[in-house]
Amino acid sequence: MRSLLVGLMVLFFEKFFIFANFKKFSLAKKKSKGRCSSVCELKRGDLLEVPRTLFLHFGIYLGNNKVAHLMPDILPALSGDKCLIDKVVTNKRLILGVLAKVASIRVDTVQDFAYGGTIIVNHMDSSFKTKPLCNEEVAQRAEKLLGATPYSLLWDNCEHFVTYCRYGLPVSFQTDKFCEIVKKIIRDQRSVLISAALGLALTLSM
């Protein structure tokens, strides 16, 4: 039984690291195309994405060095102090927001949005069959949604927000990939269990 559990754990971590390495490889390819080196290159309504530690973060450029993006944040649920809320969302605020499923669509500077990462512009345009809306309509959609909003890590996140604004359809490719990985792990776990059961049956029959 112990060896079976160890096998399952090894399988899970193997799949996790394969997924992580695949993600890093994909990001490296993205950086060579659509990479933004200056705010001056950005146009109002552009879809921005920036790599974070374990995921991609997305926003819509509004012009004048401002980006609208959906951020998990616990503070608006605890305080009405606009000065406090408008400060850059800390990791603690973000994590608590994820746990409480509380978020807001807020406006930050490009620098605060990027958080030291490399910005990639309109990369999703090649992933959608439908053409993006005109940039001004994209920006106006984002501006209309500013404020408090429900949040779900998988079903209502920053990627759903930007794809709705730019393409008219809320989609998260990150969620789709995550679900594919989970399904594969479950299938592989079943294979391990079936193999273990067959091995046990053969052993008992000898």
Q: Measured in whole angstroms, how far is the alpha carbon of residue 27 from the centre of its chain?
A: 13
Q: In the chain, which ranges are E strands? A: 47-51, 56-63, 66-72, 102-109, 120-121, 147-150
Q: Measured in whole angstroms, how far is the alpha carbon of residue 8 from the centre of its chain?
A: 27
165 is known as an active-site residue: no
**How crowded is the C-beta side of 162, counted as CA atoms within 13 Å?**
29
- Residue written as tokens 């990627």? 159
Nearest to 140 by CA among 48, 197, 62: 62
| Cβ neighbours of 125 (radius 10 Å) | 13
Which residue in 40, 158, 165, 179 is the catalytic one? Answer: 158
Q: Which residues are catalytic?
A: 158
